[in-house]
């Protein structure tokens, strides 16, 4: 289960595949789906979709639940929240760094 920033490499690795990104985006947009419903838009086999789902589940991005005879797949928002927190931290760091660089360059221009 995903808990800390040390899990981020697994998450980003899982999202390195366009099919898995599309699956996560669809679940985020449309909500729970069966594996069969998730497989429909792709021109790959159902076993291949199952392997993609296994990677996403291992990374903590999705969970599978049994609902009577259906096996439903849902997104785990806390995993996406962990990624969003990390990205916010990186954005703040780089924004601050570029702001400092801009001030330094402006100061150098004034000194000329």
Mean pLDDT, residues 28-44 taken together: 91
**Structure confidence by residue, pLDDT tens digits, 79-98:** 888 888 888 999 999 999 99
Q: Is the pLDDT of residue 102 over 60?
A: yes
User: Model pTM greater than 0.75?
Assistant: yes
**CATH classification of the domain holding 107:** 1.10.10.10
Predicted local confidence at residue 4, as pLDDT:
63
C-beta of residue 63 within 8 angstroms of C-beta of residue 77:
no
Query: Using CA atoms, how far apart are residues 22 and 24, in angstroms rounded to an integer?
Result: 6
Q: What is the dihedral of CA 82, 61, 17, 72, to 10 degrees?
A: -160
Q: Is the pLDDT of residue 8 over 80?
A: yes
Number of domains in the chain: 1
Mean pLDDT, residues 35-49 taken together: 90
For residue 73, which phi and psi values (nearest 5 degrees)? -115, 135
Pairing of strands 62-67, 33-34: unpaired
Domain enclosing residue 90, as ranges: 5-111
Task: Locate 23 and state its tokens.
Answer: 């699956």
């Amino acid at each position: 289960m995903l808990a800390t920033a040390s899990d981020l490499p697994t998450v980003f690795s899982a999202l390195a595949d366009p099919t898995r990104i599309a699956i996560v985006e669809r679940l985020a947009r449309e909500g729970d789906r069966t594996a069969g419903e998730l497989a429909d838009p792709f021109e790959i086999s159902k076993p291949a979709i199952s392997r993609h789902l296994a990677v996403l589940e291992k990374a903590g991005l999705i969970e599978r639940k049994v609902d009577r005879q259906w096996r439903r797949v849902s997104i785990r928002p806390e995993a996406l929240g962990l990624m969003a927190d990390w990205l916010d931290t990186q954005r703040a760091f780089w924004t601050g760094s570029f702001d400092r660089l801009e001030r330094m360059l402006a100061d150098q221009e004034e000194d000329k």
